[in-house]
Amino acid sequence: MTPPTADAPAGAPLGVTFAGFMNLGLDAAITAARWAEEIGYRSFWTAETVGPEAFATLAAVGQVAPSLDLGTGVIALQLRTPPLAAMAASTLQALHPDNDILLGVGISSPVVTRQWHGAPFGDRPLAQVREYVTLLRECLSGESVSFSGEFYEVHRFRLGVRLGERRPKIVIGALNPGMLRLAGELADGVLLNYLPASHVPWSVEQVRAGGDATIYAYVHVGVCERPDGIDHARRDLFSYAVVDSYARNFERAGFGEEVSEIRARHGARDREGALAAVSDRMIDAIDVMGDADHVAATVRAYLDAGVEVPIVMPLPWGPDRMTVIRRTLEAAASAGR
């Protein structure tokens, strides 16, 4: 990896994710990656649902911002077998032999897997992730792999991508106690998401009960005017509060009343009531809007709480969305100076 520029925040290897503005298109990803490299960021991440495919996006970013490490945050593991995920990540690694390739995988949600992609969601997430990551690591080794498990079976798979000493790192997207401990035990890193800084210490404690995985976290921030973003934030948090795993995490983070009301209204097909149940305090803790100083202070709060690598998720809310992204990246980069 190319050393950080003089503008990079000392001791804070910041990343940026495309996940929050994928609807702006691939040109926005390329532009943001160039800005991030210029400002001194260390990594670029992307998610994957129904928009741009993750590995093609990262390959394009790697061409225009070659100093950045490249990460998936996260891909739904039900949609790719472990050998295929190993092939994709290793292809990126071969193209960028001096950079870290961070292969973030997660169990996703029934909507993404079953409804949008027609793939089984599964009913034993911990067992499936354990087996997936175990087989994935074997596939990345370059050795011949034969494996027979409850979820996956391969015979004499051998990765056909030539790699040097550097291999893709495995990161697990995790929220709840069992998955956090599993990530600590098996993965190189754990990716936290949709949690306030106040909930990070508890999450880190769970990870450390399993092992010493690096703590990554998506930090949702935007240098924008609150009236421009408040409705977006309510819709954003509502859409996650109706997913069981996120709902449980929101409850542990202190938003039990909000989650109960959101889900009750949603169950009654009262969408407006469900959106209204997303409280201002919940928004202010998770989808953080404000001026540059407030954004910088928010990133510092996550660092102080135990996040080792904050990954900025710019909230592109305002009349000039790309300007909001640029200002957010600049503000967040000042957090560790």
State which H helix or E strand residue 223 sits in: strand 214-223
What was the pLDDT predicted at 283?
Answer: 98
Look up tokens 């990540």; give the residue: 89
Q: How far is CA 127 from CA 7, 49, 66, 134, 248, in A?
A: 43, 23, 37, 11, 19
H-state helical runs in 141-243: 177-186, 200-210, 226-241
What was the pLDDT predicted at 11?
Answer: 56
Per-residue pLDDT 10s for the chain (337 aa) are 433 343 444 557 999 999 999 999 999 999 999 999 999 999 999 999 999 999 999 999 999 999 999 999 999 999 999 999 999 999 999 999 999 999 999 998 899 999 999 999 999 999 999 999 999 999 999 999 999 999 999 999 999 999 998 999 999 999 999 999 999 999 999 999 999 999 999 999 999 999 999 999 999 999 999 999 999 999 999 999 999 999 999 999 999 999 999 999 999 999 999 999 999 999 999 999 999 999 999 999 999 999 999 999 999 999 999 999 999 999 999 985 5
Two tokens at 19? 């996940």
Between the two ends of the chain, the Cα-to-Cα distance in Å is 21
The model's pTM: 0.95
What was the pLDDT predicted at 166?
Answer: 94
Q: Rounded CA gap, 334 and 279, in Å?
A: 29
170 strand-pairing partners: 103
Query: For residue 74, is the peptide bond before it cis, meaning its omega torsion is within 30 degrees of 0?
Result: yes
Beta strands at 69-76 and 43-46: parallel, antiparallel or unpaired: parallel
Output phi, psi for 83, to 5 deg: -60, -40
CATH 3.20.20.30 assigned to domain 15-253+279-333? The reply is yes
What was the pLDDT predicted at 335?
Answer: 86
